[in-house]
Structure 1
């Protein structure tokens, strides 16, 4: 049974916990972390998207953030982000490699596998610059069906026009894009072009 911290609107734990399934059944606010893995190829920014396993409790078979996950009770955003990268994709990263983009609050109501799903989360969003081939990744099959690198503008178009099944929110993409633009203006962090 996965226990989550119940949090306030800023993602601060209230001291109470809730089982993950109950959080989604009743719309209880909890925390998640989202990591967008980016690279440069042929002068373009690319994003690594994961295709969610068909067995996921929400949005099965949809394209999603590179790596994301619920934060277990007692963990923090950064610790959870690094653990999820390792578990879902086999990527080992250091805390200083994750670039903070911002905090996002979201609420979603739907139905999956014949059950009501009410997601109410506070998410910290990060960028990881990492040029890695899909074949070099070790996917957690219970979570991730496959991964694909996609040009940033193609990803944005897919989300805006619903041209493929996905659970990516446009406001989060815009948050990441703004952070990338600021980084490029400052010349940091260095990114190798292949």
Structure 2
């Protein structure tokens, strides 16, 4: 069960091998403590006026509190697909329900110890939506012109 900031040490994630194939599942806490490979998603949200949404993470987060990040990011729950996780995370963090078809996969980042041992699929979302931020999880958003 997730707490109010969208994380719980008891959350169960899939553990993956060097080829991003599931080899088991463990708690969020165990995966991070042991430095095991697992999965995550990131979304870049671009409005029609060309501005890019960046998120300031909640200061209560256990990883990178208060730092600027992509529009939305999160781990995959055990058994969840990358796309399903992206849709879920965007709804949880931004308060906006989107459809799979609205997301365009723009990158796939292999797991590396310097990047949290996460395989990451990166998506682009285009559109004008009204945010309803989940304040315990997201401190604020900033709109910037991509360079």
TM-score range, shorter chain: 0.7 to 0.9
Partners in 2 of 1:106 and 1:63 — Cα distance?
21
- Checking the alignment, whether the CA contact within 8 Å between 1:88 and 1:144 is kept in structure 2 is yes
Which segment drifts farther, 1-10 or 82-91?
1-10
**Aligned to 1:13, which of 16, 19, 22?**
22
2:139 matched to 1:130? no
Structure 2: which 5+ runs fail to align? 1-9
**TM-score relative to the length of structure 2:** 0.87
2:147 matched to 1:146? no
The alpha carbon displacement at 1:56 in A equals 0.6
**TM-score relative to the length of structure 1:** 0.67
- Checking the alignment, whether the CA contact within 8 Å between 1:9 and 1:122 is kept in structure 2 is no
Which segment drifts farther, 3-12 or 141-150?
3-12
The alpha carbon displacement at 1:26 in A equals 1.4
Relative to its length, the structure with more helix (as a share) is: 1
Deviations 1:136-186 (A, max 9, x none): 311112210001111102xxxxxxxxxxxxxxxxxxxxxxxxxxxxxxxxx
Provide the aligned C-alpha RMSD in A.
1.5
What is the aligned partner in structure 1 of residue 7 from structure 2? none
What is the aligned partner in structure 2 of residue 3 from structure 1? 12
Of structures 1 and 2, the larger Rg is shown by: 1
| Structure 1 counterpart SS, 2:51 | strand
2:40 matched to 1:32? yes
Structure 1: which 5+ runs fail to align? 110-117, 154-194
